């Protein structure tokens, strides 16, 4: 009899599927490989149970997916961002936010290691926090890490959602998850002082049931190497640009060399962060540089109409 459920773990060629509160171990039928389709964690699937093992017969259409980490049907992402050790990077944070906006995944920003800031550094950094809040992002930023009130507020957002934790290696994703659920006991690692880079400690992608939702702990990363959009679409994923773009002289302004650009004016008068604009320019160059790769792999232009 056909059943359906959601893949919560991939391990050694087996897919663990959550169905009606039970976890069923399954394998994918051989014809998936011939179709070039590989089920990933987060996929909703149909399967048939034969003895103790089930077999996936169909993968439902995905509302979104990420390549790194390989996950599908994500509702929101907690972007864990260190303010120190490793040093805070607006470039890395903006890369992650753009990638999430392009996939229509809600971003929550959690600033970690805030206890390493001096009082004056905390006050200064709070201006950056307020700027990201002004764009509509929900931000977690307290001068003491892992307060119970902050953890409780974050857990409330998990209900009926698939939440992914992502961020720079060494930023403290697994540590944060251990504070959210002490029973997880996820492996953590310290940051190498010499290289200012973290050691990879998370070995697999699994969906963990927390507070009536599913939460993914994912491998750390330090950068996004690919932007899956055209140059003219990039501006749609900078929420501060979107707010002022209607004031640009030209409707299709790319905020580069056009006269009467409201975004460039905002940078000049300080209402738009200079770092945001510089990152935007750098991302454009990255997209230009990877265009041949897109063409070779058959990437297609995306529909710019976002679903909200």
Is there a binding annotation on residue 173? Answer: yes
174 assigned ligand-binding residue:
yes
Is residue 12 marked as binding? no
253 is in an annotated binding site: yes
The reply to whether 113 sits in an annotated binding site is yes
The reply, when asked if residue 42 is annotated as ligand binding, is no
Q: Which stretch of DSSP H or E encloses residue 142?
A: none
220 is annotated as contributing to ligand binding: no
Which residue shows structure tokens 């001068």?
143
Any known ligand binding at 28?
Answer: no
Residues 98, 273: Cα–Cα separation, whole Å: 16
For strands 106-112 and 138-140, give the pairing: parallel
At which residue do the structure tokens 């391990």 appear?
11
Is 114 known as a binding-site position?
yes
| 189 annotated to a ligand binding site | no
How large is the greatest C-alpha to C-alpha distance in the chain, in angstroms?
69
Helix/strand/coil for 265: helix
Is 112 a known ligand-binding residue? yes
Q: Please tell me the distance from the alpha carbon of residue 197 to that of residue 191, in angstroms, as a whole number.
A: 6
Using an 8 Å Cβ cutoff, are 202 and 187 in contact? Answer: yes
Contact 212, 220 (CB under 8 A): no
290 in a known ligand binding site: no
Q: Is 261 annotated as a binding residue?
A: yes
CA separation, residue 150 to residues 146, 193, 272 (Å): 7, 28, 28
The answer on whether 248 is annotated among ligand-binding residues is yes
- CA separation for the pair 49, 94 (Å, rounded): 44
Element (H, E) at 214: strand 213-217
Which residues line the annotated binding site for Zn(2+)? 248, 253, 255, 261
Which residues line the annotated binding site for GTP? 112-115, 167-175
Which residues line the annotated binding site? 112-115, 167-175, 248, 253, 255, 261
């Amino acid at each position: 009899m056909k059943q359906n459920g959601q893949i919560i773990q991939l391990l050694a060629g087996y897919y663990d599927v959550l169905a009606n509160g039970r976890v069923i171990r399954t394998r994918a039928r051989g014809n998936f490989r011939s179709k070039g389709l590989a089920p990933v964690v987060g996929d909703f699937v149909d399967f048939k149970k034969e003895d103790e093992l089930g077999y996936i017969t169909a993968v439902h259409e995905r509302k979104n997916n990420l390549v790194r980490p390989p996950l599908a049907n994500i509702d929101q992402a907690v972007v864990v961002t260190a303010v120190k050790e490793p040093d805070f990077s607006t470039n890395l944070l903006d890369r992650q936010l753009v990638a999430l906006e392009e996939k229509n995944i809600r971003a929550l920003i959690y600033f970690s290691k805030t206890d390493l800031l001096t009082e004056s550094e905390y006050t200064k950094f709070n201006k950056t926090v307020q700027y990201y809040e002004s764009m509509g992002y929900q931000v977690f930023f307290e001068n003491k890490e892992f307060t119970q009130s902050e953890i409780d507020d974050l857990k409330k957002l998990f209900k009926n959602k698939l939440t992914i934790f992502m961020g720079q290696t060494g930023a403290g994703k697994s540590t944060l998850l251990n504070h959210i659920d002490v029973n997880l006991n996820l492996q953590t690692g310290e940051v190498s002082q010499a290289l200012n880079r973290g050691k990879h400690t998370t070995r697999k992608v699994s969906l963990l049931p927390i507070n009536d939702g599913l939460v993914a702990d994912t491998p750390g990363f330090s950068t996004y190497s690919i932007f899956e959009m055209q140059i003219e679409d990039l501006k749609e994923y900078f929420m501060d640009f979107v707010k002022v773009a209607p004031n640009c002289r030209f409707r299709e302004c790319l905020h580069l060399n056009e006269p009467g650009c409201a975004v460039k004016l905002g940078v000049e008068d300080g209402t738009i962060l200079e770092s945001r604009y510089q990152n935007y320019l750098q991302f454009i160059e990255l997209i230009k540089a990877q265009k041949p790769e897109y063409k070779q792999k058959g990437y297609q232009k995306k529909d710019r109409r976002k679903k909200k």
